Chains A and B, each alone.
Chain A
């Protein structure tokens, strides 16, 4: 079945540091890939997405590239801010005919001033 594996947290970085959160997946067909962010006390918000191989999703300084050859979708940001502190989830939708999102376990990021 479909699965998503994320690097385990928590991750603690200083402000302006470079961020990478690794995500790999197993899926049938050609999945769409997503990164969601969950701020304390809030629901999940879509951060970025990619729907086919080699697509790059980007938003708010975050980027992730859909790598079919390595089945990966790593999240990166060049300079994190305190306001980026949250839990980040990698997710996939396995393709046409499937309506569910399959999530990883999440990676908690804390950014300190």
Chain B
């Protein structure tokens, strides 16, 4: 059973460019969350997608947007990249049952984004 997968593994972009990161949830999961983890820091919640809609959003600007597809996979888009957007971007998935009980989220290995 494949866990949460993310692509690409690493990415280098220039300031001002746009980037798209991709995530496939664990089998049986329908909810996808995105987190930004700066070097030496804990992950920070960006937003969560459920039933193809953004259900909750953290304290991130509108430059960060997302999408969820009918097969539950998800994309994170970041426009007008800043140097401060350099971080590890983590995707996490969960199932409806987990969401209502213990809220166990399964994390992917992340995409390392470097903005130069």
Q: Which residues of A contact B (CB under 8 A)?
A: 4, 32, 36, 41-46, 49, 51, 89, 91, 93, 98-106
Instruction: Name 9 interchain pairs, CB-CB below 8 A, sorted by A.
Output: A43-B110, A51-B101, A98-B56, A99-B55, A99-B99, A101-B92, A101-B105, A102-B45, A106-B41
**Is there a chain A Cβ closer than 8 Å to B107's Cβ?**
yes
Q: Are A43 and B4 in contact (CB under 8 A)?
A: yes
Q: Which residues of B contact A (CB under 8 A)?
A: 4, 31, 33, 35, 40-45, 48, 55-56, 58, 90, 92, 99, 101-110
User: Roughly how many angstroms separate A89 CA and B33 CA in the complex, as a whole number?
Assistant: 17
Q: Are A44 and B58 in contact (CB under 8 A)?
A: no
Query: Which residue of A32, A43, A100 contacts B107 across the interface (Cβ within 8 Å)?
Result: A43
Number of CB contacts from chain A to chain B under 8 A: 59
Q: Are A32 and B103 in contact (CB under 8 A)?
A: yes
Q: Are A105 and B99 in contact (CB under 8 A)?
A: no
